[in-house]
Amino acid sequence: MIDSRRLHNLNNCPIRPGPVVYWMSREQRVADNWGLYHAQQLALERQAALLVVFILADGFLGATLRQYGFMLQGLEQVARKLDGLNIPFLLLEGEPRHSMLQFIAQEQTGCVVCDFDPLRIKRQWFDGVAAAATVAVLEVDGHNIVPCRIASVKREFGAYTLRPKLRRVLPEFLVSIPQVVQHPFAWKKTVAIPDTEQVQIRLKPDAGVGVVPGFRPGEQAAFEALADFIAQGLNGYASRRNDPTVHGQSGLSPWLHFGHLSPQRIALAVATQGDSEDVEAMLEELIVRRELSDNFCLYCASYDTLDAAPDWAHRTLEKHRHDPRRFCYTQHEFEQAATHDLLWNAAQTEMLETGKMHGYLRMYWAKKILEWSESPEEAISTAIYLNDRYSLDGRDPNGYAGIAWSICGVHDRAWGERPVFGSIRFMSYDGCKRKFKVDEYIRHWRK
């Protein structure tokens, strides 16, 4: 059974006769999917068909071929797996609110189960459908181990305030995940597996950022990557994770972002490895830090602007707004990795070529954008543009929270005052040299 605390009613309409729709969005998988599982339970109780609907929004937040290609290949795998369970998968295109409301009316659906997502545009989609629909719209948080709305009812100051709230209830939620089964009630229509190559051609996503070769999307690839991390990467994780010159991070973020892999599945797999510094470090990143990002985006509507800055950070950035910049670059120069800083250029090049950037360097990368931009607002805009355009895990709460931490002091405290940054935490090239072999990293990624 699903814990009722994972559920949130988005309207007060009843569940009516008709097929149950699972509106897949953030959780693009069949296994370990609380939303899909709950939708099936509702359908079984009512002896109704279960339909899975995914709506493709054209040009979603500037996504490119890199992101669309990864997502569509994963969705085709989802469709095939669902087909084997007698659950039709429908890939719709268009403005999501209109498309879903039209589908509800056309197919006379009984209710809609949707994923939890704290991002503003997704909230507008789900809330918009819930407000206009005449059937129940239910949200299921299948992304956070402790559901975001349950973990806290307000924006948290930092990990130190959210951590104890999570730990108090974590044992209640870190449980085995029930799986979807063969569905006994067929839908009246026959649905073909979507031809995602043709869909991609029709969508015409920006091909200026191509796919990452050799990086496989989908649940199977995600499970293999998790198994490899447990076997090869967990031991020594605490000491290696901040060194960009070694393979010290989990590398799971793209699959997490697209919902090909459940965070709860990762946590269960890691937790079975016993008590160690490595296990503790991984669970801190996976649970506390990741769920803090969801909390930030849910309770701060301006998560992608300077308005997200805490009062002390806003004051100090305003005080130093007109400080002279030794270097100042345009968005295009940043995009081309054409700064004077070879380390920054190498980090940007890594993202351009692989769709990923080491987590420690993401902080340095964003802080230098602040240092070399004409204003904090321009720095935020540039950092979000680059991250969302080139990272496979762009347009994600982790990305917005990380940029806000680096530039706006979110989830941080005031440090020593200096030009441009004011009291925002500073990171330097020399500081990086004390952490890892900077020259080795630059040689690897230098154009």
**pLDDT tens figures, 326-335:** 999 999 999 9
Q: Position of tokens 């130190």?
A: 160
In this prediction, residue 134 has a pLDDT band, given cuts at 50, 70 and 90, of very high
Which structural domain, as residue segments, surrounds residue 403? 306-445
Angle formed by the axes of helices 359-371 and 376-390, to 10°? Answer: 140
Query: Which CATH number does the domain housing residue 333 bear?
Result: 1.10.579.10
Is 5 a domain residue?
no
pLDDT surpasses 90 at 19: yes
Q: Which of 407, 395, 410, 381 minimizes the C-alpha distance to 155?
A: 410
Is 188 a domain residue?
no
Is 363 a domain residue?
yes
Q: Which of 143, 144, 113 minimizes the C-alpha distance to 129?
A: 113
Question: Three-state SS for 321?
Answer: coil
pLDDT surpasses 80 at 416: yes
| Helix (H) or strand (E) run with residue 140 in it | strand 136-140
Q: Which of 115, 89, 406, 97 minimizes the C-alpha distance to 259?
A: 115
Is 90 a domain residue?
no
Mean pLDDT in residue range 261-278: 97
Is 401 a domain residue?
yes
Is 405 a domain residue?
yes
Query: DSSP letter at 422?
Result: B
CA 141 to chain centre: 13
- Give yes or no for a contact between 228 and 269, defined as CB atoms under 8 angstroms apart: no
How many Cβ atoms are within 10 Å of 376's Cβ, its own excluded?
A: 25
Is 56 a domain residue?
no
Q: Sheet of 136-140: strands edge to edge? A: 7-9, 136-140, 111-115, 20-23, 50-56, 89-93
- Write the CB contacts of 153 (distance below 8 Å, at least 6 apart in sequence): none
- Give yes or no for a contact between 143 and 263, defined as CB atoms under 8 angstroms apart: yes
pLDDT surpasses 70 at 357: yes
Q: Which of 272, 191, 200 minimizes the C-alpha distance to 231?
A: 272
Q: How many domains does the chain have?
A: 1
pLDDT surpasses 90 at 61: no
What's residue 447's pLDDT? Answer: 62
- Give yes or no for a contact between 385 and 365, defined as CB atoms under 8 angstroms apart: no
**pLDDT tens figures, 309-326:** 999 999 999 999 999 999
Question: How far is residue 49's CA from residue 44's CA, in Å, rounded to a whole number?
Answer: 8
Is 435 a domain residue?
yes
Which two tokens mark 379? 């720095």
Mean pLDDT in residue range 434-444: 96
Pairing of strands 111-115, 89-93: unpaired
**pLDDT tens figures, 216-236:** 999 999 999 999 999 999 999
